[in-house]
Amino acid sequence: MVSQSIQFEPLPPRPELAALRDEVRRFLAERQSSGAYAPGAEGWAGYDPAFTRALARKGWIGMTWPKRYGGHERTAMERLVVTEELLAASAPVRAHWVADRQSGPLLLKFGTEDQRQTYLPRIAAGECFFCIGMSEADSGSDLASIRTKAVKVEGGWQVNGAKLWTSNAHRVHMMILFARTGEAGPTRREGVSQFLVDLSSPGIAVRPIRNLAGEQDFNEVVFDGVFVPDAMLVGEEGQGWKQVTSELVYERSGPDRWLSSYFLLRQLADQAKRKGPDAGATRQAVGRLAAHLWTLHQMSGSIAGMVEEGSLPNTEAALVKDLGTTFEREIPEVVRKVVPEQARFGAAGNPALAHALDHISLHAPSFTIRGGTREILRGILAKSLGMR
């Protein structure tokens, strides 16, 4: 059975975007030749506040937001062009990524006027960075089971509990916290709320967790009697479920869900130019992966078009994330299969490819977990298709 509820409109040609794409490419080439950064296997994970501020000066953070909040009133398609180019060039965008991608849009939608005026201009200027405080121990996919509680006290809320896997909490300024503020109700989706939390507040401890590659990327964030003023409640008390799910379209549909291994694909394309015994299989693999990449680009663009028209295509975003992260994970597997060890190591080897393969292989398992696991995304799709 084919459902009407999953729909990707084809992208009409937008020749006017080519000039913007060229401008971003020129900017990135200049940054690379001045030594500001070098493209590498870490892809968009590089954290560089100076680079972020340079992007802000170009007007490439908060691109679609109203000018009165420091934004630039550009289109979602223009933002997509900029993000694709940044990620394809392994630009170090991590500092502002969450704030630009989802915390800012969340505040635009549900925040108070005061919250918008305080935070959006600082985000757009590349001066205020955010993290996402959703997951907890035993509560990742089943987000409604969170145990972190915010209890009403005079003038605000007192928060106790712990968030887990919080990317970047050790180096950003603010968290959007998802906490229980009331009874769960029969669906367990009632009585949850979102708060803006200043991570320098007394009572917050950020504890590092090392990932598979030994790097500190995510953390446990413990809240011990943390006071959060009333003014920091985002949206309505008890409406956190509706709000948090509306963030997911931004979190799941973008090129950051299919370009994490792009640097390795570029290395594979370079390998295909060598005349080794693997050349034929390598060329075929590059062709097949490039076709997948192009399809994902079209699908992401289609979602950007829908967002531009004011809809929130959560199901389509889940599909892009599932296909996109499967693609990101497949690239190191394909490279390992088609480029034999002797073509990677030794005198005639390709050390750049070998290094990228090692690095990305250690990170690839997380691609299909972060932002919602594969099984959860497929559950959403099955429901939309009327299969569950």
Ligand X SMILES: Cc1cc2nc3c(=O)[nH]c(=O)nc-3n(C[C@H](O)[C@H](O)[C@H](O)COP(=O)(O)OP(=O)(O)OC[C@H]3O[C@@H](n4cnc5c(N)ncnc54)[C@H](O)[C@@H]3O)c2cc1C
Give the dihedral sign, CA 376/253/294/36: negative
Q: How far is CA 212 from CA 20, 109, 137, 359, 361, in A?
A: 37, 36, 18, 10, 10
Give the dihedral sign, CA 117/119/122/124: negative
Q: Which is nearer to ligand X, 305 or 372 (by Cβ)?
A: 372
* 379 binds ligand X, rule: CB under 6 A: yes
Site string for ligand X, 307-346 (x = CB under 6 A): ----------------------------------------
* 246 binds ligand X, rule: CB under 6 A: no
Which residues, 6 or more positions from 210, have their beta carbon under 8 angstroms from its beta carbon? 216
Q: Which is nearer to ligand X, 78 or 217 (by Cβ)?
A: 217
**By CB under 6 A, which span of 79-87, 245-253, 276-284, 375-383 interacts with ligand X?**
375-383
* 165 binds ligand X, rule: CB under 6 A: yes
Return the residue of 213, 312, 369, 385 that touches ligand X, per CB under 6 A.
369
Q: Which is nearer to ligand X, 306 or 319 (by Cβ)?
A: 319
**Rounded Cα gap, residues 269 and 149, in angstroms:** 50
Residue 128 near residue 85, CB atoms below 8 Å = no
Residue 213 near residue 359, CB atoms below 8 Å = yes
* 132 binds ligand X, rule: CB under 6 A: yes
Q: Please tell me the number of Cα atoms within 13 Å of 42 on its side-chain side.
A: 14
Which residues, 6 or more positions from 204, have their beta carbon under 8 angstroms from its beta carbon? 197, 221, 222, 223, 224, 226
**By CB under 6 A, which span of 18-26, 295-303, 320-328, 371-379 interacts with ligand X?**
371-379
Return the residue of 342, 375, 386, 388 that touches ligand X, per CB under 6 A.
375
* 261 binds ligand X, rule: CB under 6 A: no
**By CB under 6 A, which span of 35-43, 222-230, 330-338, 365-373 interacts with ligand X?**
365-373
* 134 binds ligand X, rule: CB under 6 A: yes
Return the residue of 140, 235, 240, 313 that touches ligand X, per CB under 6 A.
140
**Rounded Cα gap, residues 177 and 157, in angstroms:** 12
Q: Which is nearer to ligand X, 60 or 130 (by Cβ)?
A: 130
Q: Identify residues 188-227 at the interface with ligand X (CB under 6 A).
A: 218
Annotate 50-73 with three-state secondary structure.
HHHHHHHHHCCCCCCCCHHHCCCC
* 144 binds ligand X, rule: CB under 6 A: no
**Rounded Cα gap, residues 239 and 179, in angstroms:** 11
Residue 38 burial (CB count, 10 A): 10
**Residue 100 DSSP class:** I
**By CB under 6 A, which span of 37-45, 61-69, 125-133, 295-303 interacts with ligand X?**
125-133
- Helix (H) / strand (E) element for 28: namely helix 17-33
Q: How far is CA 9 from CA 243, 311, 314, 318, in A?
A: 26, 13, 15, 16
Return the residue of 3, 141, 245, 342 that touches ligand X, per CB under 6 A.
141
* 135 binds ligand X, rule: CB under 6 A: yes
Cα torsion for 56, 57, 60, 62, to the nearest 10°? 50
Return the residue of 90, 115, 167, 300 that touches ligand X, per CB under 6 A.
167
* 248 binds ligand X, rule: CB under 6 A: no
Q: Which is nearer to ligand X, 103 or 300 (by Cβ)?
A: 103
Could you please report the per-residue DSSP string of 333-369? HHHHHHS-HHHHSSTT--HHHHHHHHHHHHHHHHHTT
**By CB under 6 A, which span of 26-34, 83-91, 164-172, 248-256 interacts with ligand X?**
164-172
* 276 binds ligand X, rule: CB under 6 A: no
In whole angstroms, the minimum distance from the beta carbon of 373 to ligand X comes to: 3
> Which residue's CB atom is positioned nearest to ligand X?
140
Return the residue of 64, 102, 166, 302 that touches ligand X, per CB under 6 A.
166
Q: Identify residues 16-75 at the interface with ligand X (CB under 6 A).
A: none
**Tokens coding 114:** 């005061």
**By CB under 6 A, which span of 2-10, 19-27, 87-95, 133-141 interacts with ligand X?**
133-141
Task: List interacting residues with ligand X (CB under 6 A).
Answer: 131-135, 140-141, 165-167, 218, 366, 369-370, 372-373, 375-376, 379
